[in-house]
Structure 1
Amino acid sequence: MVRKSLIADLILLLVTFSWGATFVLVKEAIATMPPFTFLGVRFTIAAVLICLILLIFKRDQLHTDKGLIKAGLVLGFWLFAGYAFQTFGLQFTSVSKAGFITGLSVVLVPLFSVWLLHLKPKRPTVIGVLAATIGLALLSLDKVEAANLGDLLVFLCAVSYAMHIITMGKYAPRHKALPLAMYQIAAVAVLNFIGAFFFEPWQQSFTKDVLFNPTVEMALLICAVFATALAFVAQSQFQKFTTPTRTALIFSTEPVFAAVTAYLWADERLSGQAVVGCLLILAGMLFAELGGSDKEETTAEATASR
């Protein structure tokens, strides 16, 4: 179990890297194609890709079990809610504050795990979460600003992402990874297109100038394949071997990867405070990892997911 847990954590770290590394691509793409429309197209491509894999290689897994569809819809709802609240919140608050508040899901997950799944994290994990939270603050916040509506919306984004991790911990052990990821991703695609219909000039996105824009094409291809299809299949497959709290802690490294890739690709400089923040996030993750697997957490998780 310890070996499986370590492998799972490493795979989830690669998933987080794919999200952080594509941040610059997404930022550039949504300057041309609005966020909901971009996400709708991105998740549609990913859902079609997984469906083709199922049709060609895993036809026996392509079925319409009610429990599977329900799991996909619940996961898709929470994931979409996270994107939606963050998108609207960014209209009223700064990117730095949004990054920090979104990262608070690393704190919310262990709290929700105690409440919903009756999981009690080990002391090294708790210390790791606290270190990562302080690191997020140093990385994201340059100054203290008054709270506003955007902060509340982004906090709801953090709640949604935390609930996504919690529900994935519940449903992943029950279903095959490929169909679970497909239904989840398809649900997110549909919900994003609904959001685009009501809040964006989506018709302007489906033109030759936008769809064949090199920046948009590259972002859609890389994000759909690596940061969506492969990433959520991997999360569906491997989160069952670790705990929601450790998953959240691993996901907290996303802004670190985003900052590093922004430095390498966009020549964005990091302040000394931000560097310390990155190191604290990584230290928190490593501290929790070296603290070993929590048998109480694993046993409780297995019981909760039956």
Structure 2
Amino acid sequence: MADGLLLLVAGIWGFTFVTVQHAISFLEPHAFNAIRFSIASLFLIIWLLLFDRSQLKKWNKHSIKAGFTLGFFLFIGYSFQTIGLIYTTSSKAGFITGLSVILVPLFLFVFYQVKLTATNIIGVLSAAAGLYLLTLADAVSVNIGDVYVFVCAIGFALQIIFTGKYASAYPTLLLTIIQLATVSILSFAASFLFENTANNFQLPVLYKKEVWSALLITSVFATALAFIIQTGVQKYTTSIRVALIFAMEPVFAAITAYFYNQERLSNSSWVGCALILAGMIFVELPFKKGIKLTKQKINRLNE
């Protein structure tokens, strides 16, 4: 049941690449994210007040700082992903975003001297080769949208690392609310600073089916509900299985893009997608000499 629900979450996330791409042709990226995360935050605040007010006892400057840190990296991830979807395809964006799974062990190695295992190294090399085939093999130069989405993958990878640092120290729902609210605030600020606010937040734009349907799907289902499902059922399975299940997200993105956008990838791009997916799986496979965090390194990670 847990694995099935997590696979459903991966499917929802994969499906949203297409819906977001349609919506941002009418509503600019930062404005879209501002509204999306505001709705999601409100949804979870209501959930907290109705079902678990006890978590409010942990509302303090430390939990706010932790939630803001997670929200900042999540903002980097979603803002660059949404902007990137203007210039690249949903299927390519899905697979490049998935590189965050590979970047996590790389960042742990660089910043915390956590040794890479043989499977980590194979996964990174496979993903690097796949990224080349997906983005460069059929192009003279790098697509700017691919670059934006790669920055998004970096943001998501750092968010995963810092989630591991803070998740056990603070109530999950409270931390999630602060995190999502931070993304909303930063997205509103970015929208007013960098976008044409005269066209944003206008009712005729928000009433368009492509916009309101995408906001509903992404805010309620792909953000608020997805976080609740993940938090509620992950304790019934292993982190390795969760990572492998979430590696299916770009596959769902490619399938959805194929049917709804009629996106067609070249043969080399499909090989690249396969190598990236293989890299995601390899980097999370257990190894008898797997990553071992010594007590000293765990303390450094939590500093």
Q: Would you say same fold, with TM above 0.5?
A: yes
Q: Counterparts in 2 of 1:49-198, with a 5 A limit?
A: 49-63=43-57, 64-86=59-81, 104-146=99-141, 156-198=151-193
Alpha-carbon distance change, 301 to 58 in structure 1, aligned in 2, over 3 angstroms: farther
Shift of residue 233, structure 1, vs aligned partner: 4.3
Q: SS of the residue aligned with 1:205?
A: coil
Q: Distance in 2 between matches of 1:97 and 1:212?
A: 29
**What's the CA shift for 1:158?**
3.8
Q: Which runs of 5+ in 2 are unaligned?
A: none
Matched to 2:292, the amino acid is E
Deviations 1:164-200 (A, max 9, x none): 1211121122222211111000000000001111122
Bigger mean CA offset, 201-210 vs 43-52:
201-210
Q: In 1, distance between residues paired with 2:3 and 2:112?
A: 20
Q: Deviations over 1:248-297 (max 9, x none)?
A: 88766543321111112222233333333333333334444553584615
Task: List alignment gaps of at least 5 residues for structure 1.
Answer: 1-6
User: How many pairs does the alignment contain?
Assistant: 300
Is the contact made by 1:76 and 1:188 (CA closer than 8 Å) also made in structure 2? yes
Shift of 1:38: 0.6
Distance in 2, matches of 1:133 and 1:164, equals 21
Per the alignment, residue 19 of structure 2 pairs with 25
- SS of the residue 1:296 aligns to: coil
Task: From the superposition, tell whether residues 253 and 267 of structure 1 become closer, same or farther in structure 2 (CA, over 3 Å).
Answer: same
Contact 1:169-1:240 at 8 Å conserved across structures: no
Following the alignment from structure 2 to structure 1, what is the Cα–Cα distance between the partners of residues 5 and 240?
A: 16
* In structure 2, distance between residues paired with 1:163 and 1:188: 15
1:31–1:298: structure 2 CA closer, same or farther, 3 Å change rule? Answer: farther
Matches within 5 A, 1:241-256: 253-256=248-251
Mapped contact 2:240–2:284 kept (Cα < 8 A): no
- The residue type equivalent to 1:211 in the other structure is L
Tell me what 2:292 maps to: 296
Structure 1 residues 285 and 256: alpha-carbon distance in aligned structure 2, compared to 1, 3 A threshold: same
Q: Percent identity?
A: 49
What do the CA deviations read for 1:131-167 (whole angstroms, capped 9, x no partner)?
2333343334442434698777665444323221211
| 8 A contact 1:109–1:248 mirrored in 2 | no
The change in CA–CA distance for 1:298 and 1:205 in structure 2 (over 3 A counts) is farther
User: CA separation in 1, counterparts of 2:246 and 2:71?
Assistant: 18
Cα 1:174/1:40, change in 2 over 3 Å: same
Q: Partner of 2:210 in structure 1?
A: 215
Residue pair 2:89, 2:263 contacting (<8 A) in 1 also: no
For 1:32 and 1:154, how far apart are their aligned partners in 2?
20
Which amino acid in 2 is paired with 1:278?
A: C
In structure 2, give the amino acid aligned to 1:37: A
Q: Which amino acid aligns with 1:296?
A: K
Q: Which of 29, 33, 38 is residue 35 of structure 1 equivalent to?
A: 29
Q: So what's the TM-score if we normalise by structure 1? A: 0.79
Q: Distance in 2 between matches of 1:117 and 1:238?
A: 29
In structure 2, what is the equivalent of residue 4 of structure 1? none
TM-score by length of 2: 0.79
How far has the Cα of 1:242 moved from its partner? 9.8
After superposition, the C-alpha distances for 1:75-108 in whole angstroms (9 at most, x for unaligned) are 1111112334456677888989877765554443
Moved more, 292-301 or 180-189: 292-301
